[in-house]
Chains A and B, each alone.
Chain A
């Protein structure tokens, strides 16, 4: 699966949950749907059967049904803005430009940034950078980070920025470099995968809430269809007070 597909899927996922709470739609189903949709949009051809064969949980039929029913819903909540600009092509552009402008000494091979940049993107997937910063800037930050990880001085990037934007605009160049630092800091801060216990705790809480919600719905249904019905079956707080 291409990195572009993964980036798009995460972008859809994050944008979807900007609109709705995670209690309204199960995140696991939405994630499956987002991945399937991203594969379609980025023209990474995978049929629905191949897709669900790689899924570990749930029966194939239920998975198929969930994914295919969620697809139009996801598209609707994204306002049908399905093109996601990922930072991979801008990074290629930056590398080409940097190589062309001879900003680095002859012994520094810019290809060494790629593994570092990949790690940066991996961390960046779980953060908010794709919602906050334009992809060109994320790509430049990835290049910088890659240089650092490869042990090369990061001033290469600074010099490149200044030579590209000077003699006109030194202030914008400085702003851009400050922005790159900001992005790297954001990724570092938010990019850690949560430890297993936190996720387990969150999961059990969610399950409790789901059970409670189902129980409340059943009770309100009984009340309405039971003794002649009374009022709207929407105020759960009221009902819970009355019941015990």
Chain B
């Protein structure tokens, strides 16, 4: 997209330089389009074809051939929108796709243009019902996108519902005041205590309830602020279901052989007589004679009864 062929301005001359292109493949800068097509219709300065001002679109690709092909492809896709399940076999679907490519190529490279346009019209009129149906149907990609959006929306709704229900329960606190008033009247009627005492008691209770509510509000606000601050931080600690304490289960040694004596039993059973006793250095390192003996015994008995 270097320069406009008519006025020779380019990106560096004019800061608001926008190249437009039309169906014939010849580009013009926006100013030239406005000037030349002041009557909305006129000849293309390069090839002379009659063009309309509204048919110009902003050029995206450098190669005009690509722009042309893109344009025709989009237009034809509005008509040729059949899908794989509209065809009885995969072969026919592929043939249809190849034919579509042929049409696009014809239009983009200016070959057999009238024939192609006639064929497009004919196809449109013949398969009108299928085209209409496919226009309304969503393709598989679109269905997936729609489902993702729906999921997100439902999630957000659920969150707001939770928050609302919480606020409702808080609001029902003061709503219970009506019932309390009746209870106070009852008490005033039936009890022997002087009226001031009862009313004082009620007022005290009310004040305590208010204080409690204020504390809860403050706590909630704090947690919300805290959450907002720490939203970007992820925890790398273990994600465990809360409430279940971790219980240690020692590993089970499957021996597949005769039973082993315990480590502390070895000396009592007399195994250590047949072992070379470990030196002081080894004992200091944590390897008494029992270790070697036990190891040999484990290995001699493990998998002994595997058949």
Check B304 against A140 for contact (C-beta < 8 Å): yes
A137/B270 contact (C-beta < 8 A), A85-B299, A93-B297, A96-B296 known:
no
Check B270 against A93 for contact (C-beta < 8 Å): no
A172/B305 contact (C-beta < 8 A), A90-B296, A93-B299 known:
yes
Indicate if A123 sits at the interface (CB-CB under 8 A). no
* B303 closest partner in A (C-beta): A134
Complex interface residues of chain B between 58 and 116 (CB less than 8 A to chain A): none
Q: Mark B273-306, 1 if CB is under 8 A from A, else 0.
A: 1110000000000000000010111111111111
Check A175 against B297 for contact (C-beta < 8 Å): no
Measured CB to CB, the closest approach of chain B to A42, in angstroms, equals 15
Q: Which of A100, A136, A179 contacts B301 (CB 8 A)?
A: A136
A134/B306 contact (C-beta < 8 A), A100-B269, A100-B271 known:
yes
A164/B298 contact (C-beta < 8 A), A96-B275, A134-B304, A176-B304 known:
no
Check B296 against A136 for contact (C-beta < 8 Å): no
* B294 closest partner in A (C-beta): A93
A97/B297 contact (C-beta < 8 A), A136-B257, A136-B304 known:
yes
Q: Inside 8 A of B270's CB, which chain A residues have their CB?
A: 100
A89/B304 contact (C-beta < 8 A), A100-B269, A100-B271, A100-B273 known:
no
Q: Mark B195-222, 1 if CB is under 8 A from A, else 0.
A: 0000000000000000000000000000
Indicate if A39 sits at the interface (CB-CB under 8 A). no
Q: Inside 8 A of B43's CB, which chain A residues have their CB?
A: none
Indicate if A49 sits at the interface (CB-CB under 8 A). no
A175 to B305, CA, bound (A): 8
A236 to B258, CA, bound (A): 57
Indicate if B307 sits at the interface (CB-CB under 8 A). yes
- If over half of B's interface residues share one DSSP class (helix, strand or loop), that class is named, otherwise mixed; here it is helix
Indicate if A92 sits at the interface (CB-CB under 8 A). yes
* B269 closest partner in A (C-beta): A100
Check B295 against A89 for contact (C-beta < 8 Å): yes
Q: Inside 8 A of A91's CB, which chain B residues have their CB?
A: 300
Q: Inside 8 A of A89's CB, which chain B residues have their CB?
A: 295-296, 299-300
Q: Inside 8 A of A134's CB, which chain B residues have their CB?
A: 302-304, 306
* B275 closest partner in A (C-beta): A96
A179 to B271, CA, bound (A): 27
A136 to B306, CA, bound (A): 10
A176 to B301, CA, bound (A): 12
Complex interface residues of chain A between 148 and 175 (CB less than 8 A to chain B): 164-165, 172, 175
Indicate if A135 sits at the interface (CB-CB under 8 A). yes
Indicate if A223 sits at the interface (CB-CB under 8 A). no
Q: Inside 8 A of B303's CB, which chain A residues have their CB?
A: 134-137
Q: Inside 8 A of A90's CB, which chain B residues have their CB?
A: 296, 299-300
Indicate if A139 sits at the interface (CB-CB under 8 A). yes
Most buried by A among B269, B296, B299, B305: B299
A26 to B260, CA, bound (A): 45
* A95 closest partner in B (C-beta): B274
A96/B293 contact (C-beta < 8 A), A134-B306, A140-B304, A176-B304 known:
yes
Check A175 against B296 for contact (C-beta < 8 Å): no
11 A-B pairs with CB atoms under 8 Å apart are: A85-B299, A89-B296, A90-B300, A93-B297, A95-B274, A96-B271, A96-B274, A97-B300, A99-B274, A100-B274, A137-B303
**A-B pairs with lowest CB-CB distance, top 3:** A93-B300, A93-B296, A134-B303
